[in-house]
Structure 1
Amino acid sequence: MKITLLTVGKLGRMVEAQLAVDYASRATASGRALAVGPVEIVEVEARKPGKAAEAEVLRPHLEGAYVIACDEHGKVRPSRAFAEHVGRLRDDGHRRLVFLIGGADGLDPSILSTANETLAFGPQTWPHALARAMLAEQVYRAVTILAGSPYHRD
């Protein structure tokens, strides 16, 4: 199952961007034997400001995918439950899993309503650059949990 972290905005050479890429690479390498991956990070930018314009550039990347939108009002999952959910999606035959991280103002309601589900990183608000790194790390952690690796400790 291919996993895409689809994000609004480009981070360039920020340390958080490199951290996210590192975790995505680790998840890709560790997930091969589990039919999880590759894990990629796709950054998009809208030509106009606003959530509606961002929705237009996100929408083409969602077709045929199981979509989980990161949103402050989404479901909070502990790491092990998150891993089990990713494994269940794979086992149910989903070929593509897309996680969405919106721009500074979040995701457009039209995108949120088409997502299969929403995910929150807790009640706090996180900078988008850090949210990307955190999501990439959780995907890597999920892969290691599914593989039975000692990376995750309960």
Structure 2
Amino acid sequence: MKIKVLTVGKLKEDYLKKGIAEYAKRLNRFGTVEMVEVADEKTPEKASVAENQQIMAKEAERIQGKIGERDFVVVLAIEGKELASEDFAQKLEAAKNTGHGTLTFIIGGSLGLDPAIKKRANLLLSFGRLTLPHQLMRLVLVEQIYRAMMISAGSTYHK
């Protein structure tokens, strides 16, 4: 099993890098973990709606180039489905059992994600209506993936 976390933009904060690295190391017992960053587009300060759409479309092209045809794609989106940890674990387990060799998780940039990326998703997932910085969301996501894997493995980590 391969776990890919695909994000728009570079992670700069060292403390977040360390936390993500720790969970990625823990996840290695369940398969290969790959953290992929695609470049974000510079957004003008007073960008129009059309300019924002163009920016998201360019970022979407970069993202699509990193998604495999048979990947199970989980897109983080505020309008997505909210799941309990156990339900999230069941979704990932079902994806593994139906022949998806790669679980690909996508976090967009500051403008969000182009509709084409959301359409490609097998699961639109929301961690609630709170707005979190995209960089922090990476750490939250890898911890939740780890938690889901531990639940599937029958561990008590999640309690």
Q: Report the TM-score, using the length of structure 2 for normalisation.
A: 0.86
Residues 38 and 63, structure 2, Cα contact 8 Å, conserved in 1: yes
Match of residue 87 from structure 2 = 81
Q: Per-residue deviation at 1:124? A: 0.8
Residues in 2 aligned to 1:142 and 1:114: alpha-carbon distance in whole angstroms? 22
SS at match of 1:140: helix
Q: Greater CA radius of gyration, 1 or 2?
A: 2
Residues in 1 aligned to 2:87 and 2:117: alpha-carbon distance in whole angstroms? 24
**2:64 matches 1:70:** no
Query: Which of these residues, 102, 110, 113, is aligned with residue 107 of structure 1?
Result: 113
Match of residue 97 from structure 2 = 91
Residues in 2 aligned to 1:145 and 1:106: alpha-carbon distance in whole angstroms? 30
**2:147 matches 1:141:** yes
Match of residue 18 from structure 1 = 18
Match of residue 34 from structure 1 = none
Gapped runs of 5+ residues in structure 1?
Answer: 32-36
Sequence identity percentage: 43
Segment drifting more, 2-11 vs 48-57: 48-57
Q: Per-residue deviation at 1:15? A: 1.2
Q: Per-residue deviation at 1:101? A: 0.2
Residues in 2 aligned to 1:81 and 1:9: alpha-carbon distance in whole angstroms? 29
Residues 40 and 109, structure 2, Cα contact 8 Å, conserved in 1: no
Flag the structure with more relative contact order, 1 or 2, with Cα contacts below 8 A and sequence separation at least 6: 1
Segment drifting more, 130-139 vs 10-19: 10-19
How many residues get paired? 147
Residues in 2 aligned to 1:131 and 1:46: alpha-carbon distance in whole angstroms? 16
SS at match of 2:5: strand
Q: Per-residue deviation at 1:69? A: 0.7
Gapped runs of 5+ residues in structure 2?
Answer: 44-54
Residues in 1 aligned to 2:133 and 2:154: alpha-carbon distance in whole angstroms? 31
Distance 1:114 1:94, change over 3 A: same
Segment drifting more, 5-14 vs 53-62: 5-14
Amino acid at match of 1:42: V
Residues 17 and 132, structure 1, Cα contact 8 Å, conserved in 2: no
Q: Per-residue deviation at 1:46? A: 3.9
Query: Residues 78-97 of structure 1, C-alpha deviation per residue, up to 9 Å, x if partnerless?
Result: 11111111111111111111
SS at match of 1:56: helix
Q: Per-residue deviation at 1:63? A: 2.4
RMSD (CA atoms): 1.4
